[in-house]
């Protein structure tokens, strides 16, 4: 575990926390929008929570992600060359942030389709991040590995 206080680690944690807060608040706002039907006292609460918490958290997560990308490229790493993982994640994130900006108006009108799609995109992006080994370039080995046993090792004289 790397416990050094470096800019890359700070940007990574800010990115992680912002995206996690945004995803959790999106689920809460989506659930809350279902309780608004027929209740005038909480009408528009889901749209307000989405506009204030979810959209702001996703914006902060996007900014922290861009800062993290710049810091990683500056340090010699390039996520674009690692395989299709980062391309898939970036595509999902850009669609997610765009939909997240349009969702408060839809929630205010009682439509929950875009909010549900944002939650699905959040889950898909999270799956891509935590399973990035599925999307990384695999280099084939030169030949089959033989187990090192007494039968395969040369006899010592």
One digit per residue, pLDDT tens: the chain, 157 residues?
556 678 888 999 999 999 999 999 999 999 998 887 777 777 888 899 999 999 999 999 999 999 999 998 998 888 888 778 888 999 999 999 999 999 999 988 888 899 999 999 999 999 988 888 787 666 666 666 666 665 666 666 5
What's CA 91's distance to the chain center, in Å? 11
DSSP H or E run through 58: helix 55-74
DSSP H or E run through 40: none
Closest CA to 30 of 43, 49, 55: 49
pLDDT given at position 24 = 95
Domain limits, the chain: 7-134
CA 71/CA 9 separation, integer angstroms: 10
pLDDT given at position 79 = 84
């Amino acid at each position: 575990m790397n416990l050094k206080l470096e800019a890359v680690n700070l940007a990574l944690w800010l990115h992680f926390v912002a995206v996690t807060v945004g995803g959790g608040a999106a689920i809460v706002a989506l659930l809350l929008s279902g309780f608004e039907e027929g209740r005038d006292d909480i009408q528009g609460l889901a749209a307000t929570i989405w506009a204030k918490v979810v959209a702001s958290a996703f914006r902060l997560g996007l900014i922290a992600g861009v800062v993290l990308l710049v810091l990683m490229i500056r340090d010699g790493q390039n996520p674009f060359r690692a395989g299709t993982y980062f391309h898939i994640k970036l595509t999902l994130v850009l669609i997610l942030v765009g939909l997240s900006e349009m969702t408060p108006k839809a929630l205010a009108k009682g439509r929950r389709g875009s909010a549900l799609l944002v939650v699905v995109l959040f889950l898909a992006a999270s799956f891509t991040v935590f399973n990035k080994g599925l999307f990384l370039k695999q280099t084939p080995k030169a030949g089959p590995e033989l187990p090192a046993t007494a039968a395969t090792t040369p006899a010592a004289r």
